[in-house]
Structure 1
């Protein structure tokens, strides 16, 4: 997002603009280089107004996480999931992941920055952990559904499988795909869980 695209807003619109500006700066300078004065300058507000909306570091990181969740919700809404098999739902997850890597690589960078910082910062961990838990739970539910509908092996462990899948996708994003194309990774994951008779 270019600086001239960040417009002055009020209320929720201004909070959204602050979140986007913070994300832009995290991509450019890393979390360590994130400064409130730079965010205020991008949004076109003064420091006092910025602190009104985000009074602490935790509130700012929370707002960034909120903006990431909002992006994922918008993406999910574009691809209806009702009535699909476990395998079809997993393929949708792969499609969403590939779309994010292609169209919103900044989101991947921000997620990686926050996840890494969460290892050392309890406040950030408290914000980021629920997002990771939700993702793993969602994948586990897909695997459980697939085991029930016959598209996945019936002997799979959904929770362990979810950890394998989210771990593989996270590592792929972290390494920017330098170990091979995403479709090859997706195909290997499918083969690990799919029943042999499923195409």
Structure 2
């Protein structure tokens, strides 16, 4: 909807939160379609149906825009985790739920992974962006650290397993799976089964990927 088009909800005025959600959604869609380098404020404004001045009122800086997009990603991942609750689950069951959620994101909502990866990569070169994205990425890693730590304590995972190293191995493998762009391939089931076998104390508990 452009600025000169009528509002589809006559008499309804968008709240600030609704407007910011629309801005975040538009920015994410553009990043997904053309990449972070192709993101332009005028294109975001056009998609939301606002002028540049209104856009800058809500996101006055590049950092504010990235923070808004990052928060929208955080809320999406939080909602996903709430749908697949971890309450009362064993460490191994929680690990498998993390695998399920990641697979769901890659195949059902690829926009989330593409946008997250683009912003994290940008953050490697831009300290201001990095300061926004690092906590979000590290939170994902720390979820695995917690799972592995508790799994070592209850005997599910190897007693000599280092939770931080295992978390890096796991998130690195999952991230690389999501970025497969050459002819080199491995199935997700085989990948997660190998990860389980690398960490688990009792091999009989591991899933058979076949």
TM-score, normalised with respect to structure 1: 0.93
Distance verdict in 2 for CA 1:176–1:105, change over 3 Å: farther
Contact 1:9/1:17, CA 8 A, preserved across alignment: no
User: 1:158-191 deviations in whole A, cap 9, x for unaligned?
Assistant: 0111111111111111226952111111000000
What does 1:132-143 align with in structure 2 at a 5 Å threshold?
Answer: 132-143=137-148
Choose the corresponding residue for 1:154, options 156, 159, 166. 159
Alignment CA distance shift 1:181-1:9 (3 Å): farther
| Aligned equivalents of 2:163, 2:194: Cα separation in 1 | 17
- Within a 5 Å distance, the mapping from 1:1-199 to structure 2 comes to 9-175=14-180, 179-199=185-205
* C-alpha RMSD of matched pairs (Å): 1.7
- 4+ long deviations beyond 4 Å: none
Instruction: Give the number of aligned pairs.
Output: 194
* Distance (Å, rounded) in 1 between the aligned partners of 2:181 and 2:154: 34
In 2, the alpha carbon distance for the partners of 1:23 and 1:72 equals 14
SS at match of 1:119: helix
* Inter-partner Cα distance in structure 2 for 1:175 and 1:102: 13
Larger gyration radius, structure 1 or structure 2:
2
Cα distance change of structure 1 residues 197 and 174 upon mapping to structure 2, 3 Å threshold: closer
Question: Contact 1:65–1:127 (CA<8 Å) still a contact in 2?
Answer: yes
Secondary structure, aligned partner of 2:50: coil
